[in-house]
Amino acid sequence: MASSASDKPRIGITTYLEPTVWGVWERDAALLPRVYLDAVVAAGGVPLLLPPVGTDTAVLDVLDGLIVAGGCDVDPSTYDATPHPETVGTRPGRDEHETILIRAALDRDLPLLAICRGLQMLNVTLGGTLQQHLPDVVAHDEHRPSPAVFGTTEVKIEPGTLTARLFGDRTSVRCYHHQALDVVAPTLQVTARAGDGTVEAAEVAGHDFALGVQWHPEENPDDLRLFTALIAATRSPSSGSTA
């Protein structure tokens, strides 16, 4: 049973499953950058990790909200495309896991925040496609300036949207990606773009809180607006969580 209005909301976060080294061990492990956890806690929630094994939508019964986290490239087979030479390190098992959870969360109207790869998975799950290597389209790599270095992107936001209510007409964000939305799924509304036209945010029509952003809000601990909005949405009477 999901938490009551007097408890801290339980927020599920999808994770990586990667070869990992710790101490004397070298094994596959479920992992997630701590910044996601810290952002949920700082916003007033309790983070619960959802590794891409043993996927069961019944887990949503104990959650008040879902975050689909960033990570590796989405497998092009999920949107019937041929892999680009720069599309590497795909994880089909994670793609399937997140597709199942996204569909179930939307069916339940569970508050949903999709981050970077998460926005891409949201678009693909709903029938959209991806640009596999953004520099081929925008002729620069400012969205991913160098390995393990986040870029800064100015985004312009569509008025009258949830994104605009949170950020106003524009905002500056931290980003790290070389893929982006191409064909936008029919039920997604683009709500923010970078100056080069890259889709930076989108919302699912017909849902109070089903929002994806191409940037990494967890990398800015001084700006928790997306996470606090997610927590607030879990307390809405129209949210899909049960009392």
- Does an H or E element contain 105, and which? helix 92-108
- Does an H or E element contain 229, and which? helix 225-234
- Catalytic residue at 178? no
Which residue in the list 98, 203, 218, 219 is annotated as catalytic?
218
Q: Name the DSSP class of 84.
A: P
- Catalytic residue at 26? no
CB neighbour list of residue 14: distance below 8 Å, 6 or more residues apart:
50, 52, 66, 67, 68, 69, 94, 97, 98, 101, 118
Neighbours of 58 (CB within 10 A): 7
What is the rounded CA–CA span in Å between residue 45 and residue 39?
A: 9
Which residue in the list 97, 116, 143, 200 is annotated as catalytic?
116
- Catalytic residue at 72? no
Which residue in the list 97, 143, 177, 216 is annotated as catalytic?
216
Neighbours of 168 (CB within 10 A): 10
The catalytic residues are 116, 216, 218
